[in-house]
Structure 1
Amino acid sequence: MEFIDFFILAFSAVFLFLWWRTCFTKTKPKNLPPGPPGWPLVGNLFQVFLQRRHFIFLIPDLRKKYGPMFTMQMGQRTLVIITSPQLIHEALIQKGSAFASRPPDSPIRLVFSVGKCAVNSAEYGPLWRTLRRNFVTELMSPLRIKQCSWIREWAMENHMKRLQIENFEQGCVDVMEICRFTVCSILVCICFGAKLPETWIKDIDGVTKEVMLMTSPQLPDFLPILTPLFCKQMKKAKELRKRQLECLVPLIKNRRAYVEKGENPDSSMVSPVGAAYVDSLFGLEVPGRGHLNEEELVTLCSELFVAGIDTSTSVLQWAFLELVLNQEIQEKLYEEILEIVGKNGLITEDTVEKMSYLNAVVKETLRVHSPAHFTLAHAATEETELGGYKIPTNVNVEFYIEWMTEDPSLWKDPDVFRPERFLDGDGVNVDLTGTKGALKMLPFGAGRRTCPGLALGVLHVNLMLARMVQAFKWVPKPNEIPDPTETFAFTVVMKNPLKAVILPR
């Protein structure tokens, strides 16, 4: 049989099966918010694909037409999209427990999460509570942050040297790439208590990038019945998972040998026993699973990299874009650094807390250039009313958080990058988690599923930004204006990565 004949036959069979499944076996949810009419069987799925723009960039137009809360039928997945700050606050804060779960994962995502054994993807319940509590205790406590300060100092010393070398050799620096390596170095050492060769760190970062791209939404996510036609993708996912295990399992074994027997033949283990994140996972009893096996340990450790590397480096790149384009803001930040620590003073976790303008610059970067336009998908734990509609348990509840940062009723001149608004303007007392007062920005989500690494991520951005501005003046490449065009690559990043020239202060 010719391939084209086989494809037509397979497509026809799938089409007929979906038609039968849709018309005779599936009860459509009632009283959902209105939304764009879809095609038979596939709903709005192909309409979105034909736009040739990422889904996140279509939402503003749909909001104008259908209001602050609307429904899209993406194949067999029903998406309820919520854009109103008031409705988001009601769902995530006032009715937090009702919207605290996660929808089913795709088969490819399940390969990497080992059946959703991860803080971000676990369904609301005992497993999630145990994993999150351990994560916060072992990484976010003031004691643990202080205990890991030497790691940041070590990584930043190397970071500053790499900046100087790259600027000398290339005539400029690639902000995103050089910051990625440093953030990855910090997180690997925090996780495994180890200093690794540069090649190993780059391997971890490379695998992490591939995992993020592999787990991005694909056609079988919305039409699971087509999964057999995408067996090559599943095969690639399993091969990538194997590479991920080969990259991280040796680290886990080395750390376990160090914790249990004191073995450290290559002297790579540098954190004392109990000071690395993975140490806390070795004896952790997880509801329904008992002690974690090596695959589950890899999932939980890699989750730290997936969540922490791209978001932090994306924010840093956007921050330096604004500093390069707005030299007066950069100088004002430098003056604050001089006032707090001086030209050659050491910038630490304690000193960045005193830098109000630095924190304002970071918050304004998060407002104007949020790493994500949506929170991670939520699911209702039970049928719940929201905005006059019934939200059933079998739909994806998607919170579009970009709209509130662009809303002129919430922000004066929302398109203008102005850090001062967080000192004496409409950003004063804005809470990034949404738990205090009205919602105006939510770069890390809100409620029970707020990003648990918020404090650590912001700390790394503050420290790196302050150190880099203290040491260098950042200017654009000669005869080259930075391009602020956005694209989506797990997070919202610059389509053309920022390359800047650094001048010693």
Structure 2
Amino acid sequence: MELIDLFILCWAIVFLRLWWKYWSVTGGGPKNLPPGPPGWPIVGNLFQVILQRRHFIYIVRDLRAKYGPIFTMQMGQRTLVIVTSPELIHEALVQRGPAFASRPADSPLRLVFSVGKCAINSAEYGPLWRTLRRNFVTELINPVRIKQCSWIRKWALENHMERLEKESVQNGFVEVMANCRLTICSILVCLCFGARISEERVKNIELILKEVMLMTTPKLPDFFPVLAPLFRRQMKEAKALRKKQMECLVPLIRSRRAFVKENQNPNSEMVSPVGAAYVDSLFEMKPPTRGPLGEQEFVTLCSEVISAGTDTSATTAEWALLHLILNQDIQEKLYSEIVGCVGTGVVKEEDVEKMPYLAAVVKETFRRHPPSHFLLSHAATEETKLAGYTIPSGVNVEFYTAWVTEDPDLWEDPGEFRPERFLEGDGVEVDITGTRGVKMVPFGAGRRICPAWSLGTLHVNLLLARMVHAFKWLPVPGSPTDPTETFAFTVVMKNPLRAVMVPRTTSSSCAH
């Protein structure tokens, strides 16, 4: 080898070494990002995560132990700052809420379903988001509207109980999750469109919206937007699913508009008075920066309500019932409280407010099984600081909140399901909205907290109270319950819960 060739080879090695070192550093440096694991050139930590073949939360737990409560991951073109400590979560979301209240950029595929981020969950922090959220709170979850629409829950729960009894007689057991999803979805469809429709149509809506949620889970183009044009097949599938979603919901929207504008109701499916359905408030809305909304936006906003409300509430009800089956003492204590409140009558909405043990069971379920291990991605509205590190605007700020509910420094025996902790113990003063401090935040916290958290909690309380009041719940003989988790849109049971129902008799009710 000649001297010049040796010189070129040496320079190539030095260049490659410097190039690798530049691209592989995550965090630190002149950008002053939180520290993080070294990555590969160009792709950062993305392929390292993929090759581990473990769910992302387990990787995050390992990195938390190594890098501390705040660290950086470079996932392709996306920079993720992951926050895991209760103090930093509270500082970012509550104490400095406006600074971290925005959302990062969406992939082209997600924008198909959000119509350019015209949704409460995905809109960037600003006038559009404020208008959409204010309208939602005013029109759907204010106390007067909740009371006005109580008949919808009464109707859906009566159907729920009848369906459970029929399924139990036919099969000897019931599928808990499927029944809870159908009931809550029926409620939310009626709240959104003012329509009472068949269970088959509700199931179809539920199925399509589930497909939408799975379609919009993170995929490679989310981390490499520059490669999005190469994923034409995925984009084609997304547009086809969007068309299917529109074809499913637009007829309801048009029927409702005809009912509101011209009092037309040919098939009598419109049952809520004018002004009582969520979509009624959207017909004349003209948000800043967008102008009048159309059917695309109506479908997106109503789908958002139905999807988010159905999954979180049904999942929580299933996990709660699992623990009541595993611990019959807790179930009997809850049953005694319900009977002490309503006797042999029907549980009403005002009754569940008088049941502290029921509230404790639901809170403990939220603690042990938060709907998601992460909050929806946040973004800083402008470059800011957190824990002494720089957080640029636009990066994904991910709040890993499940760890907080498992922290032995915050909770005594955190792995144990013990509702009593919320009556006397480490959960008595806990604020589930995170306003006073973060020990559990199942609905998020601060400006972007789920606006319907109180409505979702009411649905879970009513479902549990009605089901436990009417039936004793037991495992299926020869088929032990399985508490293994898996990850869909929410954290669900890997094997959906099947349970045996034994009717509570009048005499046993009186005895309690």
Shorter-chain TM-score bucket reads over 0.9
Counterpart-to-counterpart distance in 2, 1:439 and 1:379: 19
Per-residue deviation, residues 115-169 of structure 1 (Å, max 9, x unmatched):
0000000000000000000001111111000011000000000000110111111
The 10-residue stretch of structure 1 (225-234 or 371-380) with the greater mean CA deviation from structure 2: 225-234
How far has the Cα of 1:228 moved from its partner?
2.4
**8 Å CA contact retained: 1:31, 1:390:** yes
1:37-186 equivalences in 2 (<5 Å): 37-186=38-187
Q: TM-score if structure 2 supplies the norm length? A: 0.92
The equivalent residue for 2:387 is 387
Correspondence 1:240 to 2:247: no
1:394 aligned partner, one-letter code = G
Per-residue deviation, residues 373-401 of structure 1 (Å, max 9, x unmatched):
01100000011111010101021000010
The 10-residue stretch of structure 1 (193-202 or 151-160) with the greater mean CA deviation from structure 2: 193-202
How far has the Cα of 1:309 moved from its partner?
0.7
2:213 aligned partner, one-letter code = M
**8 Å CA contact retained: 1:444, 1:451:** yes
* Partner SS for 1:291: coil
**CA radius of gyration, larger in:** 2
2:378 aligned partner, one-letter code = H
Counterpart-to-counterpart distance in 2, 1:427 and 1:453: 22
The equivalent residue for 1:314 is 315
1:417 aligned partner, one-letter code = F
How far has the Cα of 1:77 moved from its partner?
0.2
1:427-438 equivalences in 2 (<5 Å): 427-436=427-436, 438=437
Counterpart-to-counterpart distance in 1, 2:230 and 2:58: 28
The equivalent residue for 1:480 is 479
Correspondence 1:495 to 2:494: yes
Per-residue deviation, residues 58-115 of structure 1 (Å, max 9, x unmatched):
2211110111100000110000000000001110111100000000011111000000
**8 Å CA contact retained: 1:45, 1:75:** yes
Counterpart-to-counterpart distance in 1, 2:276 and 2:226: 46
The equivalent residue for 1:355 is 355
Counterpart-to-counterpart distance in 1, 2:112 and 2:429: 42
2:485 aligned partner, one-letter code = E
Counterpart-to-counterpart distance in 1, 2:295 and 2:394: 32
* Partner SS for 2:413: coil
The equivalent residue for 2:5 is none
**8 Å CA contact retained: 1:127, 1:288:** yes
The equivalent residue for 1:446 is 445
1:413 aligned partner, one-letter code = D
Counterpart-to-counterpart distance in 1, 2:403 and 2:417: 16
Counterpart-to-counterpart distance in 2, 1:286 and 1:394: 23
**8 Å CA contact retained: 1:101, 1:123:** yes
The equivalent residue for 2:12 is none
Per-residue deviation, residues 431-469 of structure 1 (Å, max 9, x unmatched):
111112x21000000000000110110000000010000
How far has the Cα of 1:57 moved from its partner?
2.7
Correspondence 1:396 to 2:396: yes
**8 Å CA contact retained: 1:29, 1:392:** no
Counterpart-to-counterpart distance in 1, 2:37 and 2:484: 28
The 10-residue stretch of structure 1 (50-59 or 87-96) with the greater mean CA deviation from structure 2: 50-59
Per-residue deviation, residues 187-227 of structure 1 (Å, max 9, x unmatched):
00011010112221111001110000000000110012222
Correspondence 1:333 to 2:334: yes
The equivalent residue for 2:424 is 424
Per-residue deviation, residues 403-436 of structure 1 (Å, max 9, x unmatched):
1100111000000000000001100021111112
1:322 aligned partner, one-letter code = H
1:99 aligned partner, one-letter code = F
Counterpart-to-counterpart distance in 2, 1:312 and 1:501: 21
How far has the Cα of 1:29 moved from its partner?
7.3
**Superposed CA RMSD:** 1.4
* Partner SS for 1:390: strand
The equivalent residue for 1:280 is 281
* Partner SS for 2:439: coil
**8 Å CA contact retained: 1:172, 1:477:** yes
* Partner SS for 1:318: helix
Correspondence 1:464 to 2:457: no
1:407 aligned partner, one-letter code = D
2:290 aligned partner, one-letter code = R
* Partner SS for 1:311: helix
Between the two proteins, the alignment pairs up a number of residues equal to 481
1:340 aligned partner, one-letter code = C
Counterpart-to-counterpart distance in 1, 2:58 and 2:333: 33
The equivalent residue for 2:4 is none
How far has the Cα of 1:56 moved from its partner?
2.0
* Partner SS for 1:285: coil
| Shift in alpha-carbon separation, 1:29–1:394, aligned structure 2, 3 A | farther
* Partner SS for 1:493: strand
**8 Å CA contact retained: 2:381, 2:394:** no
Counterpart-to-counterpart distance in 1, 2:273 and 2:191: 11
* Partner SS for 2:423: helix
4+ residue segments displaced more than 4 Å: none
The 10-residue stretch of structure 1 (385-394 or 221-230) with the greater mean CA deviation from structure 2: 221-230
* Partner SS for 1:58: helix
Counterpart-to-counterpart distance in 2, 1:50 and 1:321: 34
**8 Å CA contact retained: 2:153, 2:187:** yes
The equivalent residue for 2:255 is 254
* Partner SS for 1:78: strand
| Shift in alpha-carbon separation, 1:29–1:278, aligned structure 2, 3 A | farther
| Shift in alpha-carbon separation, 1:471–1:69, aligned structure 2, 3 A | same
* Partner SS for 2:432: coil
The equivalent residue for 1:504 is 503
The equivalent residue for 2:510 is none
